[in-house]
Amino acid sequence: EPEVTQTPSHQVTQMGQEVILRCVPISNHLYFYWYRQILGQKVEFLVSFYNNEISEKSEIFDDQFSVERPDGSNFTLKIRSTKLEDSAMYFCASLGGGETQYFGPGTRLLVL
């Protein structure tokens, strides 16, 4: 069964460093999303991406964040200068022709 994959599973970085989180969505899907969950809090929407551009973004998704689909398979989230409060689980999701977003296993980001 097709699934969304994410790498790395864990990332530890120093505050101020750049990180790139990678996702491979389900191959025939057209909509891509990033969400995050800070420990003990709700899952929060960050950004959605369709037709090679951002279609929606939340207040969290400020200038420190960017997304890219550099080739036909990968979908990346870049945080330019990480802050302590960026520590969270980051989930990628994709949606095809239906109405259900399918999620990857997540990347646990720890900013020290």
Partner 1 sequence: DQQVKQNSPSLSVQEGRISILNCDYTNSMFDYFLWYKKYPAEGPTFLISISSIKDKNEDGRFTVFLNKSAKHLSLHIVPSQPGDSAVYFCAASAHSNYQLIWGAGTKLIIKP
Angle at 66 between CA 16 and CA 107, to 5 degrees: 70
Stretch that binds partner 1, among 14-22, 37-45, 62-70, 72-80 (CB under 8 A): 37-45
* 59 torsion bin: left (phi>0), alpha (psi -120 to 50), beta (else): alpha
- Angle CA 89–93–99, to nearest 5: 140
At 86 the three-state DSSP class reads: helix
Is residue 85 involved in binding partner 1 (CB under 8 A)?
A: no
- Smallest distance from partner 1 to CB 41, Å: 8
Kindly state whether residue 49 participates in binding partner 1, applying the rule CB under 8 A: no
CA dist., res. 76 & res. 95, Å (int): 16
Whichever of 82 and 94 has its CB closer to partner 1, that residue is 94
What's the min distance (Å) between Cβ of 96 and partner 1? 10
Give the residue, chosen from 19, 33, 82, 111, that forms a contact with partner 1 under the rule CB under 8 A.
33
Query: What is the distance between the alpha carbons of residues 78 and 68, in angstroms, rounded to a whole number?
Result: 8
In the list 2, 12, 18, 50, the residue contacting partner 1 (rule: CB under 8 A) is 50
Binding residues for partner 1, rule: CB under 8 A, are 4, 6, 31, 33, 35, 42-45, 48, 50, 55-56, 58, 89, 91, 95, 98-106, 108
